[in-house]
Structure 1
Amino acid sequence: MNTTLPHPDSVALDAALARQAILTKPTGSLGRLEDIACRFAAWQGRTVPAPLSPAIAVFAADHGVCEEGVSAYPSVVTGEMVKNFAAGGAAINVLAKGTGARLEVVDVGVAVDLSQLPIVHAKVRAGSRNLAREAALTRAEVEAALEVGAAAARRAIADGANLLVAGDMGIGNTTPSAALICRLTAYSPDVIVGRGTGVDDATLQLKQQVVGLALNRVAGRQLDGIDTLAELGGLEIAAIAGFYLEGARQRVPSLVDGFIACAAALAGVAIAPGLRDWLLASHRSQENGHGLALTALQLEPLVDLGLRLGEGSGAAACLPLLRLALELHAGMATFAEAGVSDKPA
């Protein structure tokens, strides 16, 4: 796998910063909206970025670790929720429609047969293995899932997307995500493992123990990013990492959603460190450890709305904010154009 990624365009960044300095406002008065616009300028290689054209891909898979009783919901809900996506009834369907985002649903590893649904069928295997007892996936399965994500990115970009959003659906997936974050940041399970879909105190303690078992199983072993995903990850998590990596290869940034997306981003950075330059964090979720994972990625979230749904919902909710940041950068008059006096040099 080619792990060399392009860099954002520093010349375009400087030109965008110069434009911000002459718009009819006090310098820096639009705060992070200015930074967002300038980052898109660097990503697109344009002083004034093209209008936002987002694409959302929701990747779905099941997890063998559910055998340990780590989720408040049974694994069958994964397939049932994919059916809900296909019917247009989930939160991400509403958010995609409301923000004008392209939406695709990808079965990368759901345990049940969903072949009758109008979704993308790219099942690598019917769910991962129990990571508490053995490797969740083989290296070849991770590579296949990475390619599923990369193919989804290529489809979105070919369709005109200039921002990628990955969503997840997989009952139990906060457990492998926590294990990945712990392994990739060196934080302990007691600060990273959270309640996921809303488990009680006893199940929370069990989740922490299960993550500890998985980490102990690989302790002392040298693992690259792909091997780490194989030991501790899941198929939708690997697909999201592949989605982000392919976007960066094609100079298209990704807006990172919540806890699961953050775990995938960390895994992607472990595979290709340059990925970090192509990521923007959308929100800070309620899940334990999400803020710590964002810090490890050197990302500052745009908002904190108390969300913990997944599906790409937090990122989708931020799309209007990004669209406005780009419109402000493109549409505001300069001091000279408006005939407004600038402050003395």
Structure 2
Amino acid sequence: MIFASPEAFRAALADLPAPDASATSAARARQAQLTKPAGSLGRLEEVAVFLAGWQHRERPRIDRARAAIFAGNHGVTVHGVSAFPSSVTAQMVANFEAGGAAINALSDVAGLELEVVALDLDTPTADFTSAPAMTEAECLAALNAGAATVASDLDLLTVGEMGIGNSTAAAALCARSLGRNVADWIGPGTGVDAEGIVRKAEVVRRALGFHADAPRDAFETLRRVGGREIAAIAGAVLRARQLGVPVVLDGFISTSAIAPLAADNPAIAAHCIAGHCSAEPGHVLLLARLGLDPLLSLGMRLGEGSGAAVAVGVIRSALAAHDRMATFAEAQVSAKL
């Protein structure tokens, strides 16, 4: 067990490693020598330098990358917050395992190992409008399930989720951690109508009221209004930071996993890339609060790590240009472009 107690989790969050400044500087110097006008590859240059710092090498690469997808069920669905029943979570996990989902196709083309972790699907979390979603032991188990997917030899990790009802949990996590009106964090999720959106907002308000007097640190927020799959993403992101593995976040729900962590230590997002900005309304607000500029904006709202997987293609392009382009000296080209 990597996080043996809530205190161990809190200690890890308080002590976050930084990127390698010398590798970052070396990568910037290399960019300045490549046969192109300075800055002409835009974000691709920034991505290459970012990866260099976290991989501790001037010329970063992606030899081994993993897509970790976590699934969990939510007791809060008793309030009609989703357009689909909770049974769909297990059905979609079976689809992942059979190779028939979007993430199977997208992770394959992106060169990602796919690991699907189903978390006690037969035991939904408690209805968090009247009890904590998880006990301390359940939350620790979920955090550690996420942490266990992060191998030290990974060059990149992407994270995603599946869980009917989890856009309601994501909204509750963001509202409790970052403030703003509850309605700012509420969206259609799986496709609920206007009445359903109103109902979701009321459910989140009730949850926040019920837990108003509880401690507001990251662990307590995750266990009170989160879900197993969301806590697992938080555990994976924190473990990746400990091991220096850069992370590509997916949509609103996977990004909401670090909202409580960022409230305690804003530096948690420093090793993360926002793969895309989803169509869920709260995502753009959340990315702004975390200081993350998404690589893509394609109107996606599927979840299951799909947007993050698409973004890996852009990241691979950034590294290919950084590594394979000739320098001015090598190409015998004037540096004054």
For Structure 1 versus Structure 2, the TM-score category normalised by the shorter chain is over 0.9
Does residue 47 of the first structure (1) align with residue 58 of the second (2)? yes
Contact kept? 2:249, 2:275, Cα under 8 Å:
yes
The 2-side partners of 1:48 and 1:75 are apart by: 45
Paired position in structure 1 for 2:303: 310
State which of 77, 81, 85 in structure 2 corresponds to 1:74.
Answer: 85
State which of 218, 222, 237 in structure 2 corresponds to 1:225.
Answer: 218
Please give the secondary structure, in 2, of the residue aligned with 1:109.
coil
> How many pairs are equivalent?
326
* Alpha-carbon distance, 1:226 to partner: 0.4
Please give the secondary structure, in 1, of the residue aligned with 2:150.
helix
The 2-side partners of 1:268 and 1:332 are apart by: 38
Contact kept? 2:62, 2:156, Cα under 8 Å:
no
The amino acid of 1:60's aligned partner reads A
Give structure 1 stretches of 5+ with no counterpart. Answer: 112-125
State which of 108, 111, 114 in structure 1 corresponds to 2:119.
Answer: 108
Paired position in structure 2 for 1:149: 146
The amino acid of 1:103's aligned partner reads L
Does residue 130 of the first structure (1) align with residue 127 of the second (2)? yes
The 1-side partners of 2:120 and 2:205 are apart by: 25
State which of 70, 85, 105 in structure 2 corresponds to 1:94.
Answer: 105
Please give the secondary structure, in 1, of the residue aligned with 2:165.
coil
| Cα-to-partner distance string for 1:183-223 (whole Å, 9 max, x where unaligned) | 11102111110000000111110001001111111225432
Equivalent residues in 2 for 1:245-264, closer than 5 Å:
245-264=238-257
| Cα-to-partner distance string for 1:147-193 (whole Å, 9 max, x where unaligned) | 11011113xx4xx4211111101001000000001111102111110
Contact kept? 1:54, 1:161, Cα under 8 Å:
yes
Please give the secondary structure, in 2, of the residue aligned with 1:291.
helix
The 1-side partners of 2:156 and 2:218 are apart by: 24
State which of 159, 164, 183 in structure 2 corresponds to 1:190.
Answer: 183
In the superposition, the TM-score normalised over structure 2's length comes to 0.94
The 2-side partners of 1:293 and 1:52 are apart by: 31
The 2-side partners of 1:327 and 1:104 are apart by: 25
Work out the percentage of aligned pairs sharing the same amino acid: 47
Does residue 6 of the first structure (1) align with residue 17 of the second (2)? yes
Contact kept? 2:160, 2:304, Cα under 8 Å:
yes
Equivalent residues in 2 for 1:317-332, closer than 5 Å:
317-332=310-325
Please give the secondary structure, in 2, of the residue aligned with 1:152.
coil
* Alpha-carbon distance, 1:144 to partner: 1.3
* Alpha-carbon distance, 1:109 to partner: 2.6
Please give the secondary structure, in 1, of the residue aligned with 2:240.
helix
Contact kept? 2:177, 2:216, Cα under 8 Å:
no
The 2-side partners of 1:272 and 1:63 are apart by: 27
Paired position in structure 2 for 1:118: none
Does residue 21 of the first structure (1) align with residue 32 of the second (2)? yes
Paired position in structure 1 for 2:3: none
The 2-side partners of 1:40 and 1:23 are apart by: 17
| Cα-to-partner distance string for 1:43-85 (whole Å, 9 max, x where unaligned) | 0111111235320011111000000000000011011111111
Tell me whether 259-268 or 22-31 shows the greater mean CA deviation: 259-268
Tell me whether 216-225 or 62-71 shows the greater mean CA deviation: 216-225
| Cα-to-partner distance string for 1:270-303 (whole Å, 9 max, x where unaligned) | 4654422111101000112101111111100001
Paired position in structure 2 for 1:281: 274
Tell me whether 272-281 or 172-181 shows the greater mean CA deviation: 272-281
Please give the secondary structure, in 2, of the residue aligned with 1:74.
coil
Please give the secondary structure, in 1, of the residue aligned with 2:117.
strand
The 2-side partners of 1:272 and 1:244 are apart by: 13
Contact kept? 1:226, 1:271, Cα under 8 Å:
no
Please give the secondary structure, in 1, of the residue aligned with 2:67.
strand
Contact kept? 2:178, 2:263, Cα under 8 Å:
no
RMSD: 1.3
